[in-house]
């Protein structure tokens, strides 16, 4: 989908990225092959809950992780994704699909975004190596003192290790 000079394709890859996982990075790397430009769009206030990492931390970890990709940029947005995509002249939204159950909500979101902005969403199937990896699970393992090195890029691991929760639950201790 690399566009001709007259039809450049600028893809917006939105998410909370709290934090960026290896699965996210895989989607970014593949999108960077498919599209002329990829804008990683970090939502300022994730809807799920208070983020573990600040916006600045999330953006910095992504920037370092995508430094090897010349056509990838990182920015943040608040409010409607559809408005942001229009504002940044995006031509397509990219989302990764890990498991079939992701599809239901992603489909509705894609159709809503197309109604709002006339921008389509392209789904990239997750690499099977990362299909079970989510930011939520990574945070749960991390908060309980587990090793997350296999699931996050080095730049993320460094920050996570530096901020390691002060009192991980000792193994084999029941409360």
For residue 118, how many C-alpha atoms fall within 13 Å in the half-sphere facing its CB?
3
Chosen residue from 55, 80, 124, 137 binding ligand PNS by CB under 6 A: 80
Q: Return the residue matching tokens 């690499």.
A: 127
Does 107 bind ligand PNS (CB under 6 A)? Our answer is no
Q: What is the rounded distance in angstroms from the CA atom of residue 15 to the CA atom of residue 26?
A: 14
Residue 30 token pair: 């593949």
Does 15 bind ligand PNS (CB under 6 A)? Our answer is yes
Does 109 bind ligand PNS (CB under 6 A)? Our answer is yes
What is the length of the chain? 175
Chosen residue from 69, 97, 112, 159 binding ligand PNS by CB under 6 A: 112
The smaller minimum CB distance to ligand PNS, of residues 49 and 167, is found at 49
> Which stretch in 8-16, 119-127, 139-147, 148-156 sits in contact with ligand PNS by CB under 6 A?
8-16
The smaller minimum CB distance to ligand PNS, of residues 105 and 172, is found at 105
Phi and psi (nearest 5°) for 14? -90, 155
- The SS3 call for residue 123 is strand
> Which stretch in 30-38, 61-69, 107-115, 144-152 sits in contact with ligand PNS by CB under 6 A?
107-115
Is 24 assigned a catalytic role?
A: yes
Is 135 assigned a catalytic role?
A: yes
**Interface of this chain with ligand PNS, residues 48 to 77, rule: CB under 6 A:** none
Q: Catalytic: which of 58, 98, 117, 126?
A: 98
Q: Catalytic: which of 48, 78, 87, 158?
A: 48
> Which stretch in 41-49, 64-72, 140-148, 159-167 sits in contact with ligand PNS by CB under 6 A?
41-49
Residues that bind ligand PNS (CB under 6 A): 14-16, 43, 46-47, 80-82, 109, 112-113
């Amino acid at each position: 989908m690399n566009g001709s000079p007259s039809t450049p394709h600028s893809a917006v890859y939105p998410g909370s990225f709290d934090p960026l996982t290896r699965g996210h990075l895989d989607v970014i790397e593949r999108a960077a092959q498919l599209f002329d430009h990829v804008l990683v769009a970090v939502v300022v206030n994730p809807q799920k809950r208070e983020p573990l990492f600040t916006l600045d931390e999330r953006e910095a970890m992504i920037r370092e992780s995508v430094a090897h990709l010349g056509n990838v940029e990182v920015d943040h947005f608040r409010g409607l994704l559809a408005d942001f995509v229009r504002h940044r002249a995006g031509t397509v939204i990219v989302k990764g699909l890990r498991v079939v159950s992701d599809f239901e909500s992603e489909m509705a979101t894609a159709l809503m975004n197309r109604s709002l902005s006339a921008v389509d969403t392209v789904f990239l199937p997750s690499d099977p190596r990362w299909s079970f990896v989510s930011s939520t699970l990574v945070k749960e393992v991390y908060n309980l003192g587990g090793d997350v090195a296999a699931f996050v890029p080095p730049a993320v691991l460094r920050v996570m290790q530096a901020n390691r929760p002060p009192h991980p639950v000792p193994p084999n201790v029941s409360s």
